[in-house]
């Protein structure tokens, strides 16, 4: 079983990738669409933030920092971002929000005991699993979408080696 410290370390590593891949891109470059479907980087960043909200609230039982945008627009099954939208966060706002969510999760994890990951909780459709299972499930989901950022960076013409 993964420990809380290991979980926090992996999530922290993903945060660094989320910082590196969109670095130097313009807000317009965040909107570049993959040629055969998929989502632009703005949607992926919003989806990552929404996933962190889920981890903090539903999985870990913590509070989301005040003043963040509502990322539910980027939730599971949401429509792609096809261009500029009213209220669409800038790259700076996405990154700042993701940083705040990571800090809140790190604080929440520090307050937890290893036994807390053994507690049975329902997160999706009242399906009960160990908190540790849900934590890993959403960590996998987070890493999946974090990996998309490299392709989307390359699509915007930034093909230098990042990681």
Span 78-129, pLDDT tens digits: 999 999 999 999 999 999 999 999 999 999 999 999 999 999 999 988 889 9
Average pLDDT of the segment spanning 17-29: 96
Are 100 and 48 a contacting pair, CB within 8 Å? no
Note the pLDDT of residue 37: 86
Q: Within 21-116, where are the H helices?
A: 41-54, 91-110
- Write the DSSP symbol of residue 56: I
Note the pLDDT of residue 9: 96
Q: Return the bridge partners of 37, or none.
A: 35
| Tens-place pLDDT, residues 26-43 | 999 999 999 998 999 999
163 pLDDT more than 90: no
Domains located in the chain, CATH noted: 4-155 (1.20.120.450)
Q: Rounded CA gap, 72 and 1, in Å?
A: 31
* pTM as predicted: 0.96
Are 41 and 156 a contacting pair, CB within 8 Å? yes
Half-sphere exposure of 153 toward its Cβ, with a 13 Å CA cutoff? 23
């Amino acid at each position: 079983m993964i420990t809380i410290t290991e979980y926090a370390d992996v999530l922290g590593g993903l945060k660094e990738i989320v910082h590196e891949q969109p670095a130097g891109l313009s807000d317009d470059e965040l909107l570049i669409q993959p040629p055969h479907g998929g989502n632009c980087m703005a949607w992926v960043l919003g989806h990552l933030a929404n996933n962190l909200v889920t981890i903090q609230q539903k999985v870990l039982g913590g509070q989301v920092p005040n003043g963040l945008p509502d990322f539910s627009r980027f939730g599971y099954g949401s429509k792609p971002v096809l261009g500029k939208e009213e209220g669409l966060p800038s790259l700076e706002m996405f990154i700042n929000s993701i940083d705040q969510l990571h800090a809140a999760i790190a604080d929440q994890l520090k307050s937890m005991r290893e036994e807390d990951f053994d507690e049975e909780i329902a997160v999706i459709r009242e399906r009960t699993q160990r908190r540790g299972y849900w934590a890993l499930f959403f960590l996998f989901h987070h890493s999946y979408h974090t990996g998309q950022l490299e392709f989307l960076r390359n699509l915007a013409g930034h093909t230098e080696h990042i990681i």
